Chains A and B, each alone.
Chain A
């Protein structure tokens, strides 16, 4: 989270960046404004061997385990205003998944409002308009943050597993609303391709649809420095359990 936020804060200077990463150990991430107090128990999550973090972006809980996380940080001038950027990134992800042999689609806007952060169900319990589904379930869950003319959008591309496990990590009864199942790349293809192949397909999708040529680069010194500072913030209970 610290690196994603550091990319956002340096995007005006460095231009668009796409980052792909995975989590070790597995981690439960909460949305910036998600209600977690009374809904999740830190001791119970620790006992399951899970890290916990609160994202700077919106949305609901995601279990980062058998998945690939993407993050895009870019000036609005390059990637468009929030909703246009959301649509462009969804198109890039669908294109990348198509190259992998996965027939994914963008969920239509006719389904009404996005879930409020007080909703008790997890991110993958319901596909919001503009998100990506395949087969009968949601395949990619994404969230955004806008700050000083730049955007961060990151999201989880599910490789395998069942996000219904997120509901079971909560302390309350399983929610009735938002109990939809997720799709996974392994389920759709019948076998899990190497994660490097998924990453390469995502990069190709971004290059084809957004027209940004991406070259691998390490964080520069300002980004590294800022990420180190932000680590303390994102690791603090005061932030993770803020509401």
Chain B
């Protein structure tokens, strides 16, 4: 059974947002369900720090078992950090999607954009 932590926000495209200690900065990755569906992740391509995205823009790709999937930005904002460890060890996304397998940190533009995201129970309804 895939883990879906209650304190995170989710998208139907299987990304999550996790609040950080810094105001308006969220950690973004793919959900435990998504990594399980993809299988062993062998490559991840992430944007440059400083890049800006609108909601649903493609901000990167992951490759697993020769299957390439785009990553969709869950919310409008600017990338303030990327997880450099994934370049050498993309399997972190499989082993710890909500922790060491995070992908980017994004500074959101508008707090009210968070209203469009899913809660854990709502997201779990999409994966059932």
Contact = CB atoms under 8 A, between A and B. Distances in A.
A33 B63 contact: yes
Contacts of A114: 39-40, 42, 64-66
Contacts, number: 70
A58 B40 contact: no
Contact of A113 (B38, B42, B68): B42
Contacts of A32: 61, 63, 68
Nearest to B37: A81
B67 A143 contact: yes
Nearest to A55: B68
B66 A128 contact: yes
Which of B40, B64, B68 lies at the interface centre, i.e. has the most chain A CB atoms within 10 A of its CB?
A: B68
Contact of A82 (B38, B70, B91): B38
Given A114-B42, A117-B43, A82 B69 contact: yes
A58 B66 CA distance: 4
Interface in B49-74: 61, 63-70
A113 B65 CA distance: 7
Given A33-B43, A113-B42, A129 B65 contact: yes
A59 B42 contact: no
B106 to A, nearest CB: 21
A144 B61 CA distance: 13
B66 to A, nearest CB: 4
B88 to A, nearest CB: 10
B61 to A, nearest CB: 7
B44 to A, nearest CB: 9
Interface string A137-150: 00000111111000
A115 interface: yes
B37 A144 contact: no
Interface in B2-57: 37-40, 42-43, 45
Interface string A58-90: 110000000000000000000001110010000
Given A81-B37, A82-B37, A83-B37, A116 B42 contact: yes
A56 interface: yes
A130 interface: yes
Contacts of A147: 69-70
A230 B80 CA distance: 32
A57 B38 CA distance: 14
B43 A144 contact: no
A242 to B, nearest CB: 10
Given A33-B61, A82-B37, A144 B67 contact: yes
A114 B90 CA distance: 13
A144 B66 contact: yes
A57 B66 contact: yes
A16 to B, nearest CB: 17
A115 B41 CA distance: 10
B37 A116 contact: no
Interface of B: 37-40, 42-43, 45, 61, 63-70, 91
Given A57-B67, A113-B40, A147-B70, 5 more contacts: A31-B66, A32-B63, A83-B37, A129-B65, A130-B65
